[in-house]
Amino acid sequence: MTILFGIFLLTLLVITAMAIVKAKNLFVAVMLTGIASLLVAANFFLLDAADVALTEAAVGAGISTVLFLSALALTSDRERSRTKNRTMSLAVTIIATLVVIYATFDKPRFGSPEAPVHTHVAPWYLEKTPEYIDIPNVVTAVLGSYRGYDTLGEVFVVLTAGIGVLFLLGSGRVLAPAREERSGTTRLRHHLIQRVVGRLLIPFILLFGLYVQFHGEYGPGGGFQAGAIIAAAIILYSLIEGEDHALRVLPQKVLLGLMAGGAILYAGIGVIGMLLGGNFLDYSVLSSDPVKGQQLGILLIEAGVGITVTGTLLAIYHAFAARSS
Amino acid sequence: MQLLLDVISWVLLTLGGIAVLVGGIGALRMPDLYTRMHAVSVTDSLGAILVLTGIMFQAGLSLATIKLIAILLFLLLTSPTASNALASAALIAGTKPLDEPDGGNTGAGR
């Protein structure tokens, strides 16, 4: 049954990808990208990768669609006519496809217990997590503790990407007081139903974001997903009430502080571990009980991840919105 | 008892599937944006209610049912709102609803 569903979803994914390539209208392409992300998320969930599925749904189908749309507001929504050199790109595509197909011959059978991924470190993680960290969600243990360096790198990638976008677009400080008065009536301000429902839902979305953030040790979730969900709630707020209201709640300066602060919090936990006599990002020394120390460390670094992701996504969104209005 | 719950659940799930399918056919067959949206948004809400209630009967009295109720409430609030937003956005962008060619006298003309 899983195989059947998987094949169905992957077929839909291929159709969606074809449609994205064929779409001349970039608005349509963005919407199809969101659908593709949702299909991928469903497929991840089918493969029991609930954490990845949640991330893909929140970031791929949710936030990145919004960011693409705000980028489209800066450009035209029509694709420029394609380049002349089509044989070249066709050849590259065919060769790449053949290489990928050839590579799949070496892959283990789907779900095979002898697959390298199941024989290398995964059994150790599954066996030792209750002893060393004692949290039910092993994914969070791997992500936060065993592979803490990688996650730290990811947080800095997010931070760097945010800084890059802000350098390109300007950090939205063009928000002069003159604009503020004029834009009081823009966006969805006249749409009563959307405003009422949106206002009703925003607290619950924020609450769900916090749940995903702090429940990450027990179920699917964690900083990345929670950051995206909280950012989505605040983007919804700024769509309903207008850009300026959202910037009054969380000014751009605060967002920049959050971006850097989360990454510093994460790296700072590592340094504190060093000062207490452990290795960098070794949380065992944070408390007298090593297991408690690990749990505390994971909680704090997940908070750092969430803060950076929220700050970065919102700063990028506001930068786009400030340019387009 | 268990059999009865199963039967109720599967009837609801099937009806929900039919509702969504009808909506899908409507989205493909209707003549313009507004009628298409009407087809999808109405049947989608109905389908969500039926399917989620069907799953609730499968889950029984457990935490999962409470989560399903939360999902149902969320969908019932957001999905019509999204349809409304889409329709008003289309209207603002200048998409005219399709009128009857002869002024709408015949009613079932098309």
Please, are residues B5 and B57 in contact by the beta-carbon 8 Å criterion? Answer: yes
The mean of the pLDDT values for chain A is 86
Phi, psi angles (nearest 5°) of residue B10: -70, -35
Chain A residue with minimum CA distance to B78: A197
Q: What is residue B53's predicted lDDT score, i.e. its pLDDT?
A: 93
- Give all strands (DSSP E) within A175-315, no chain letters: none
Radius of gyration of chain A (CA): 22
User: Quick check: A190 pLDDT over 50?
Assistant: yes
Task: With beta carbons under 8 A apart, name residues in chain A contacting B75.
Answer: none
Distance from CA of B77 to the nearest CA of A (A): 7
Top-confidence residue, A325 or A160: A160
How far apart CA A31 and CA A242 sit, in angstroms, is 23
Q: What is residue A83's predicted lDDT score, i.e. its pLDDT?
A: 65
Query: Does A117 contact chain B (CB < 8 Å)?
Result: no
Chain B residue with minimum CA distance to A198: B78
Coil/strand/helix, residue A264: helix
Coil/strand/helix, residue A323: helix
Q: With cut-offs at 50, 70 and 90, classify the pLDDT of residue A136.
A: confident
A107-121, B11-25, B47-61: which range is least confident on average? A107-121
A20-29, A112-121, A194-203, A247-256: which range is least confident on average? A112-121
Q: What is residue A82's predicted lDDT score, i.e. its pLDDT?
A: 65
Partner B, chain A 177-216, Cβ-Cβ below 8 Å: 188, 191, 193-194, 197-198, 200-201, 204
Distance from CA of B101 to the nearest CA of A (A): 30
Query: Does B14 contact chain A (CB < 8 Å)?
Result: no
Stretch B1-15: mean pLDDT, rounded?
A: 91
A169-178, A287-296, B32-41, B73-82: which range is least confident on average? A169-178
Closest residue by Cα to residue B84 from A65, A196, A191? A191
Closest residue by Cα to residue A305 from A141, A157, A161, A134? A157
Q: ipTM for the complex?
A: 0.79
Cα torsion A7, A226, B85, B91: sign: negative
User: Quick check: A3 pLDDT over 70?
Assistant: yes
**Tokens found for residue A143:** 């992500």
Cα torsion B90, B95, B96, B101: sign: negative
Q: How far is CA B56 from CA A152, A218, A254, B17, in A?
A: 41, 23, 43, 15
Stretch A242-267: mean pLDDT, rounded?
A: 90
Domain residue ranges in chain B = 2-89
Residue with tokens 């009563």: A192
